[in-house]
Amino acid sequence: MNLGIQDRVAFVTGAAGGIGARTAAMLAEEGASVAIGDINSDAAEAEAERLRDTGCKAMAVQVDVASAASVDQALTTVVREIGVVDILVNNAGFTRDKRIGRMEESDWDAVVDVVLKGAFLCTKSVLPGMIEKNWGRIVNISSRAYLGNPGQANYSSAKAGLLGLTRSTALENGRYNITVNAVAPGIIDTAAVRNLPHYEKVKANAEASLPLPRLGRLEDVAAAIVFLASEQAGYITGDVLHVSGGRYG
Ligand SMILES: NC(=O)c1ccc[n+]([C@@H]2O[C@H](COP(=O)([O-])OP(=O)(O)OC[C@H]3O[C@@H](n4cnc5c(N)ncnc54)[C@H](O)[C@@H]3O)[C@@H](O)[C@H]2O)c1
């Protein structure tokens, strides 16, 4: 299947590693020009260089998605260097887990500002260009944690909030041929997950209890994101695609 995104311009946040990096690589392999946005500029540059070495079109741009000024500056650079953004993947995010009683205001703000406000700021910044082109794809990376998890009130709330942002943005912009969807991964075998002290238990639990009995892989999530970002997904909007091995609840 031709995904129809050759020469589209994609901006992927948090793309210096993990799911974002795999997604950026897959978009680039499909012929898109990709901007790797990350707060970690050295890692973003290394990733962009790696893609360019394989013949792909890629640039790095430093961005703190929680800052409107930083987002606007980064997107101005992207538009100047590779063109108006057609595909936005709001992927930057992290956890700062604590039970609510021990969760500080700063723990709440750090996670919600990057995951939820960051997605809002990037969306707001790219929408005028997409409306002008009458084409756009926005994919928000939520998490199965939107259903709630002990110790993750900040993360879970932000990931649930992303679904509201997804639906509202979809409703406002369908008339401009812009689709907005979310991907909700389960537990993915990333470096961060491998570093968990109880990684072996998490892995064994996935193998014992999931309908698809294994942890998710980076490419499982990236493939779902790239499909939703493609021409072929043009009649899907406001939806949530779970990439969780069949896990619900
Ligand atoms: N790994 C999983 O099991 C899993 C499951 C569900 C959802 N997710 C979500 O997928 C996304 C990617 O996760 P990952 O496991 O690949 O994480 P990761 O830590 O490998 O990558 C996240 C990237 O975001 C960047 N980042 C952090 N703060 C930023 C900021 N303010 N501005 C710009 N970039 C920033 C980091 O530098 C990092 O490169 C996250 O939103 C995460 O919540 C992951």
pLDDT digits (tens, 9 = 90+) for 193-227: 999 999 999 999 999 999 999 999 999 999 999 99
Q: Give the pLDDT confidence score for residue 75 in this predicted structure.
A: 98
9-190+218-242: which CATH number, 3.30.70.420, 3.40.50.720, 1.20.140.10, 1.10.101.10?
Answer: 3.40.50.720
Domain boundaries, the chain: 9-190+218-242
**Distance, C-alpha 136 to centroid of its chain:** 15
Q: How far is the CA of 148 from the centre of ligand 1 (A)?
A: 18
Candidates 146, 155, 235, 248; catalytic one? 155
Q: What three-state secondary structure class fits 103?
A: coil
Q: Helix 218-228 crosses helix 18-29 at what angle (to 10 degrees)?
A: 50
Cα 60 from Cα 62, distance rounded (Å):
7
* 92 CB near ligand 1 (under 6 Å): yes
Residue-wise pLDDT tens digits, 6-45? 999 999 999 999 999 999 999 999 999 999 999 999 999 9
Amino acid at residue number 123? T
Q: Is residue 39 in contact with ligand 1, taking CB distance under 6 Å? A: yes
> What is the best residue among 11, 13, 19 to mutate for testing ligand 1's pocket, by most ligand atoms within 8 Å of CB?
19
Q: Tell me the H-state helices in 89-150.
A: 105-112, 118-133
Task: Supply the DSSP symbol for 149.
Answer: -
- The reported pLDDT for the residue numbered 164 is 99
185 lines ligand 1 (CB under 6 A): yes
- For residues 24 and 36, the answer to whether their CB atoms sit within 8 Å is yes
- Concatenate the DSSP letters of all residues of 25-75 into one string: HHHHHTT-EEEEEES-HHHHHHHHHHHHHTT-EEEEEE--TT-HHHHHHHH
pLDDT band at 230 (very low <50, low <70, confident <90, very high): very high
Tokens 């063109």 sit on residue: 83
pLDDT band, very low/low/confident/very high, at 248 (cuts 50, 70, 90): confident
Taking residue 141's Cβ as centre, other Cβ atoms within 10 Å add up to: 27
Report pTM.
0.98
The mean pLDDT of 89-104, rounded to a whole number, is 98
